[in-house]
Structure 1
Amino acid sequence: MTAQTTGITADTDAVLAGVRAEVRRRRPGGVGEGSARELLAPLGLPFVSAEEVDSADEAVAAARRSGFPVVLKAVSDAVLHKSDAGLVELDLGTAEAVREAHGRLVGRIAATGAADARVVVQPMVGAGTDLILGWVRDPAFGPVFVAGLGGVTVELFRDVARRIAPVTAAEAHGLLRSLTCWPLLAGFRGAPAVDTAEFCALVARVSALALAVPELAELDLNPVRISADGRCTVLDARAVIEQSAEVASRRSGFDLGALVRPGCVAVVGASRDASRPGGRVLAALREHGFAGHLHPVNPAGGEIAGLPAVSSLAELGHVPDLVCVALRAEASVEAVGECVRSGVPAVIVYASGFGEAGAAGKALDTRLLAEVAGSGTIVCGPNTIGVVSSHHRMAATFSQAVHGLPLRVSGTCLVAQSGAVAGSLVSRELADGYGIGDWVTVGNQLQLDVADYLEYYAGLETTRSVAVFLEGVPDGRRFRRALAAARERGVPVAVFKTGVTEAGSRAVSSHSGALAGSGEAYRAVLAQEGAVQVAEMTNLLEIAWTLGHTPRPAGRRVAVVTTSGGAGSATADLVEGAALVPAVFGERTRSRLAEVLPGFANVDNPLDVTAEGAFAEGVVRRVVELVAADDGVDLVCVVLTSITGPDAVRVARQIAEAADGGGKPVLVSWLVARSLAEDGMSVLAERGLRVFTEPARMVAAAAALASCPASTHPRSACA
């Protein structure tokens, strides 16, 4: 293969350094095709040939040298979208056509006022498929590489795939295969397949440029025409130059043991008023049975909530593992300073009014960071509702979400950037009979960020999956490393990402000062690192729990068993819509099902057990057993309708018994009001089966299970 297809072969670093030096000499701003060619010339990219001309006569002469037909363009750094401005003349087959096109371009150049515009003559390139490749530099993750269907309609069809650089040639091939337009390259309707090796090598070469030249904020090579024999020709290019802002990676490797598993907790700002944060934190710790030493700290001393209070940390006579600071922002900074001087290993700062509150709050951020700088003290928050561990019976939170609900041990952890959302989701999970092992709301991530908690929780033996409610991360590289660490440890991660639109990003910024980044960048990162992106907020914990507590299916073939034909067909539609495969029962399975079900029942997938079958003793259990045992079934989705009261308990037990012996995942959606079948739903929860109120949410969880990479298979098939 030539250098054109394999990349730079001679002194790659020197070539890239030369390109960077040239870019640095340029003024920031947009760069059109002509300047982009000059900047990228050392890379030897396969640009279409171009000859600059100053007159119509020169244009005709250049066309004759190139060979008709030709293209005339006006290239300018001031006009990046030439087609929109009428600065491209295509398929000019005669000298007269070239003269007339040159005259039109000169007039249009004058109308645009682009003083730097130059007219160039290029040969018409033969037929092929037009692709785009390039990148946009995300503030959190760096270059987000894009490859896909190109040309003037690229923004209309949006058939592109994204990956965070670097991108290898093999990975580029995977990007192409994921496109809707892939059949055009693979051989559509009898056409020969296109050899994409040269294009994939080009992607790898340009990817190296993205990493080596951070001053190039954006680059589009569009279109890159790939011909039937695989040859690539770059027909147009543009770039954006910005001053690079290298972001230093945040400190990592914090030991969160004292924060998550403390033996001794002090509550600074403990209050006799149970409605105040200090009163709520103390009450939550007591309500949920924290077994360690608990010390209220209040200047008045005395007794609070039946516990002896001290007037200061110094009065304790020993150093607590965790100090919960329930004071206003200004006073919280002073309290953290006292903790640092006392050698306290972990502090939670609940107060808002820090960086999310404007200039005055940012000044408090600076002071708080200065207090902990160089110390052994870690800080959760500020602007957090706290940390909870069901394994440790520790609820260091002022959230009302856990009041009156038992902490249930679970292998699921939650890391959230919204305290209100986290509390709401957790309350639903606990009320439905499922649990959260450990959870934290990260607040403003002043010191500890999402990545720190994710990596720590994934390393605990009690963790089977992690759910993340994500607004943004301050350090994209750290976040990627944390996701990778979870994947390597066999802990699946489910993420609900907010702030993926322009309006959503503005809301994130005003809410917690988070760096939202772009939705596309986060989608690419999550896909690359094997995390599951969840579409519905209230489905986050359901999917995370399912990933951690349910056997992983061997494939994507789904059987639907239901007590309603209508619900079954609706669920079957959802299965196909989620890129799952409706299972086809074998003849032996069909025959045995016919023996169990009433004679009028249809034994195809979706399978309606009928009302008669649903209320007959043992029929539901036997049907689920037979379906799960079929070699053509990987996963069973059960949809229950109006089965209530004692019947609900009976059917739930049958499903649980069938699932226990099958070894294949069984998910359940129960459509009736919870109050009418709560005892049955509780039976399933206690037996380790997930119950969904909506079939679409069940199917989303099934798709997540089927898509979970092998390396992120739960540590144990079932909890």
Structure 2
Amino acid sequence: MLKMKDFNMKAFFSPASIAIIGASEDFTSIGGKPIRNLINHQYKGKLFLVNPKYKQIQQYKCYPTILDIPTEVELALIAISSKRIKDVMEQCAEKKIQYAVLFGAGFAELGSTGEKLQQEVLQIAQKADIRLIGPNCVGCLNVLEQIPMGFATSFEAQTFLSGNVALASQSGAFGYSVFGLAQEEKIGFSYIANTGNQVDISTLDFLVEMLNDEKTDVLAAYLESIPDGEQFIDILKRAKEKRKPVIILKSGRSQLGQKAALSHTASIAGSSDVYEAVAEQYGAISVRDMNDMIDAMKIFSRKKYASGSKIAVVTTSGASGIAMADLSEEYELEMAELSSKTKEMIEGIIPSFGSSLNPIDITLQALNNKSILSDTIEALVEAEECDLVVVATTLGGKLGEKVCQDIIELDKKTEKPIIVTLTGRKDIVGGGLNILQNAGIPVYQTPSQTIQAISMLVKHSKYIRRSKDQTVTASQILLDDPQNVWTEEKVKPMLKNLHFNIPRGVVVQSEQQLQSVLNSFTFPVVMKVISQNILHKTDAKAVKVGIETKQEAINSFYELIENAQRYSPEAKIEGILLEEMLTEDGIEMFIGIKHDPTFGPIVACGFGGVFIEVLKDISLRKAPFGKETALEMIKSLKGYPILTGTRGRDPADINAFAEALSHVANFAYRQGALLKELDINPVVVLKEGKGIVALDGIISWGESLP
């Protein structure tokens, strides 16, 4: 593939000249709307119209082809059918345009024929160094300079509210619906990009540029696929460095959703569980629908982070406070325990029949005393024991407006986030609502919206504060013949170099070999069939534990071979593994690796043995990572309390398990695509200080070294 010139978002969004190919005098059509939108928003560059059907459209001359335009053209908006697209692209190549937005459908989203056409268009563009947006795209919007480049319904607004949020969306309908609804909430934007089938420039490419934009503080994206896993992770890493939150709605989570995404923009949606794990690991703010995305935009666009998770709620209604207290527990937030000093200060402000306990009920006496609410908020702003202040009120009219103005003044004086729940009809509370929204104060209609938004802010603030997880360097392991499948007799010696203990064992191929080594073993012992064709030995009755005597071992040798041959007559049996049996108590866990086509090696851990499929208590992360992330993985398991010691059990050696987990992760990362799958199950986690023991393991290798 030819190397394309770098994508310069500012050059694309601020073109000195635009040609609309397929221009129409019908301003309600796809070829006419872009003309009307640019005229209405007083585009200051040169506008050229191309369509052999017309001599002129309004005050603009219409050219037969783009080649007939006498001056240079930077951007082409192409509103023609897919049948004519190759000829038009050849003309654009000859004209040396820099960017082209392809509105038309009929490409890869329709299947193999459309995919072939899409690739042919891309090849024309690559040879001419033209960067493409689309196809199957409704256009892009430079909000800061009021330049609409497309036919989205949102472009028909008289003006656009500019601000510090940028949005990149594969879906035009979704992206501009979010934009329109967010504008109603007084959320301002810098840039909006719709990428459609993203044959060339992707949503991730736009996010890279948006991340570098000085006027953009919050990034949002709607993704139907992750075209480049490493680019996605790099964006999130750099976003943390720049303290710019990235809000993402990823569709295609269900099987039905994955099929819909494929037909929509020719995306191949990856594993939902893997995506969610990677997004959380690298600090993306995942949302489920457009309302959640807008709520996140509100709270993050204020550019205030939370120093902790302790919230203080002040309300004119006790019921609202109780609702927030209940929701706080659900979202893993804490209701701050107010100090005696803070309570004493609040008791001097609120009426005697109010409550200074958090949530604080100032009662509707606030209707008679206009300073009660603002004075209470100020006391909480000054209180070191709370990290965020939530105001829940239904006050409307002039009093509500005054209170909202007071909140703005207090917000200006503190870095502590102040969030408002303002409930009521807009004709009653609308004045105060407008005051808060215009000042950028996060304001929500319900306690549930408020607490969910706070939860996102608190979680991301914690991620921002976290120091970089230092990955460990896996021990240098010389791999002998890394191909096909390694069964446990080859895997276990390697695991010893990755901080695992392994039982003493030897593989025997005959009764004579077995008898010659039995005297050196301490009973009880374990015996297992070794075969690349039998990976689940328990199902095949190809493993036997608790063998106490030499004769029992000899009998087991023949019994296991017979069971294996009955289970899989074609199986090649390489021998019987004889091991000393672990007799210490421990908790069975597992560690697994799978090479994901988008993100590379993904590490899984959870409770192991025969309970993997039953409990399905699994945590995922992308390799590589260090011990801190490994500990987070373990702590996120629902069964984590079992490891810490319950009902008189001793705590397990969590640190040893975390150490080994991080070493396995980094070993897998070093192998790259060569390592297809690794399964260590069970890993017995012994009592604290005793370490861990790997009792079984298997590796599936790729065909060649990376």
Instruction: Report the TM-score, using the length of structure 1 for normalisation.
Output: 0.62
**What is the identity, as a one-letter code, of the residue corresponding to 2:449?**
R
- Contact 1:249–1:475 (Cα < 8 Å) also in 2: no
1:661 aligned to which of 397, 413, 416 = 413
1:385-534 to 2 correspondence within 5 Å?
A: 385-534=138-287
Deviation at residue 251 of structure 1 after TM alignment: 7.0
1:499-648 pair list within 5 angstroms: 499-614=252-367, 616-641=369-394, 643-648=395-400
Contact 2:310 2:387 in 1 (8 A): yes
Q: Write the distance in 1 (CA, Å) between the matches of 2:148 and 2:460.
A: 31
Query: 1:655/1:398 Cα in 2 relative to 1: closer, same or farther (>3 Å)?
Result: same
Secondary structure of the structure 2 residue equivalent to 1:309:
strand
| Structure 2: distance between partners of 1:686 and 1:663 | 19
Distance 1:266 1:569 in 2: 59
Q: Quickly say closer, same or farther: Cα 1:603–1:405, change in 2 above 3 A.
A: farther
Aligned-partner Cα distance in 2 for 1:473–1:407: 30
Q: Which amino acid aligns with 2:11?
A: A
Deviation at 1:705, TM superposition (A): 1.6
SS at match of 1:437: strand
Residue identity opposite 1:311 in structure 2? P
**Root-mean-square deviation over aligned CA pairs:** 2.2
Structure 1 residue 664, shift from structure 2 partner: 0.8
CA distance 1:329–1:656, shift in 2 (3 Å): same
Contact 2:370–2:399 (CA under 8 A) maintained in structure 1: no
- Cα deviation for residue 399 of structure 1 reads 1.1
For 1:179, the equivalent position in structure 2 comes to none
The answer (yes or no) to whether the contact 2:262–2:269 under 8 Å persists in 1 is: yes
- Counterpart CA distance in 2 for 1:458 and 1:310 is 38
Match of 1:152 in 2: none
CA distance in structure 2 between the aligned counterparts of 1:249 and 1:607, rounded to whole angstroms: 64
How far the C-alpha of 1:293 sits from its partner, in A, is 2.3
**Which amino acid is 2:428 matched to?**
L
8 Å contact kept, 1:614–1:620: no
Q: Does 1:671 align with 2:671?
A: no
Residues 419-450 of structure 1: per-residue CA shift (max 9 Å, x gap) = 11111111111122221211111100111112
The Cα of 1:327 is off from its aligned counterpart by: 1.5
SS at 1:277's partner residue?
coil
**1:86-116 Cα distance to aligned partner (Å, 9 max, x none):** xxxxxxxxxxxxxxxxxxxxxxxxxxxxxxx
Does the aligned pair in 1 maintain the 2:307–2:461 contact within 8 Å?
Answer: no
**CA distance 1:626–1:307, shift in 2 (3 Å):** farther
Partner Cα separation in structure 2 for residue 283 and residue 492 of structure 1: 35
- What residue in structure 2 maps to residue 696 of structure 1? 448
Aligned residue for 1:307? 60
The corresponding residue for 2:28 is 275
Change (3 A) 1:360 1:703: same
Aligned pairs (5 A) from 1:201-280: 253-280=6-33
Equivalent residues of 2:298, 2:440 under 8 A apart: no
TM-superposed deviation, 1:346: 0.7
Q: Alpha-carbon deviations, 1:112-137, whole Å to 9, x = none?
A: xxxxxxxxxxxxxxxxxxxxxxxxxx
1:288–1:407 contact (8 Å) kept in structure 2:
no
Q: 1:710 to 1:579 in 2, by over 3 A?
A: closer
Per-residue CA deviation, residues 333-369 of structure 1 (Å, 9 max, x unaligned), is: 3323222221111111111111101233222212211
Shift in Å at residue 288 of structure 1?
2.8
Q: 1:324: which partner in 2?
A: 77
Name the structure 1 match of 2:518. none
| Deviation for aligned residue 1:697 | 2.2
Mapping 1:38-187, distance limit 5 Å: none
SS in 1 for 2:105: coil
Compute the displacement of 1:489 (Å).
Answer: 2.9
Q: Helix, strand or coil: the match of 1:468?
A: strand
Output one character per residue of 1:473-501: Cα deviation in whole Å (capped at 9) or x when no partner: 22222222233233333321011111112
Q: Cα–Cα, structure 1 residues 636 and 709, in superposed 2: closer, same or farther, change >3 Å?
A: closer
> How big is the shift at 1:619?
2.3
Q: Is the 8 A contact 1:262 1:321 kept in 2?
A: yes
Separation in 1, partners of 2:113, 2:213: 38
Q: Write out per-residue CA displacement over residues 54-94 of structure 1, whole angstroms, 9 at most, x where no aligned residue.
A: xxxxxxxxxxxxxxxxxxxxxxxxxxxxxxxxxxxxxxxxx
Cα 1:695/1:305, change in 2 over 3 Å: farther
- After superposition, the C-alpha distances for 1:209-251 in whole angstroms (9 at most, x for unaligned) are xxxxxxxxxxxxxxxxxxxxxxxxxxxxxxxxxxxxxxx9997
- CA 1:362–1:293 in structure 2 vs 1: closer, same or farther (change >3 Å)? same
Distance 2:58 2:185 in 1: 30
Question: Residues 685 and 691 of structure 1 are in contact (CA less than 8 Å); yes or no, is this contact kept in structure 2?
Answer: yes
Partner of 1:524, secondary structure, is helix
Superposed CA offset, 1:365-386 (max 9, x none): 1221121123321000001111
Worse overlay, 349-358 or 310-319: 310-319
Q: Quote the offset at 1:545 in angstroms.
A: 4.0
What amino acid is the match of 1:350? F
Question: Aligned equivalents of 1:546 and 1:250: distance in 2?
Answer: 40
Query: Superposed, which structure 2 residues align to 1:284-363 within 5 Å?
Result: 284-363=37-116
Q: TM-score, normalised by structure 2?
A: 0.63
Find the aligned partners of 1:567 and 1:545 in 2 and give their Cα distance: 21
Q: Give the Å deviation of 1:596.
A: 1.6
- For residue 299 of structure 1, what is the amino acid of its counterpart? P
> Does the 8 Å CA contact 2:308/2:462 hold for their aligned counterparts?
no
Report runs of 4+ in structure 1 exceeding 6 Å deviation. 248-252
Query: 1:391·1:437 contact (CA, 8 Å) conserved in 2?
Result: yes
Is residue 13–residue 142 contact of structure 2 (8 Å, CA) maintained in 1?
A: yes
SS in 1 for 2:219: strand
CA-to-partner distance for each residue in 1:244-267, whole Å, 9 max, x for gaps?
A: xxxx99979423333222222221
Bigger Cα displacement from structure 2, 298-307 vs 435-444:
298-307
Does the alignment pair 1:680 with 2:432? Answer: yes
**Deviation per CA, 1:493-532, whole angstroms, max 9, x where unpaired?**
0111111122221221122111210111111221222211
**Corresponding residue SS for 1:347:** strand
Q: Distance in 2 between matches of 1:696 and 1:487?
A: 27
Q: 1:708 is paired with a residue of what secondary structure?
A: helix
Q: Is 1:652 matched up with 2:404?
A: yes
Counterpart of 1:501, as a letter, is: S
Q: Distance in 1 between matches of 2:430 and 2:88?
A: 46
Tell me the equivalent position of 2:459.
707
Q: Deviations over 1:653-708 (max 9, x none)?
A: 12212212232111122222334322221111111212222322222221222122
Residue 326 of structure 1: how far off its partner (Å): 1.4
Verify the 8 A CA contact 1:278 1:326 in the aligned structure 2: yes
| Mapped contact 1:491–1:548 kept (Cα < 8 A) | no
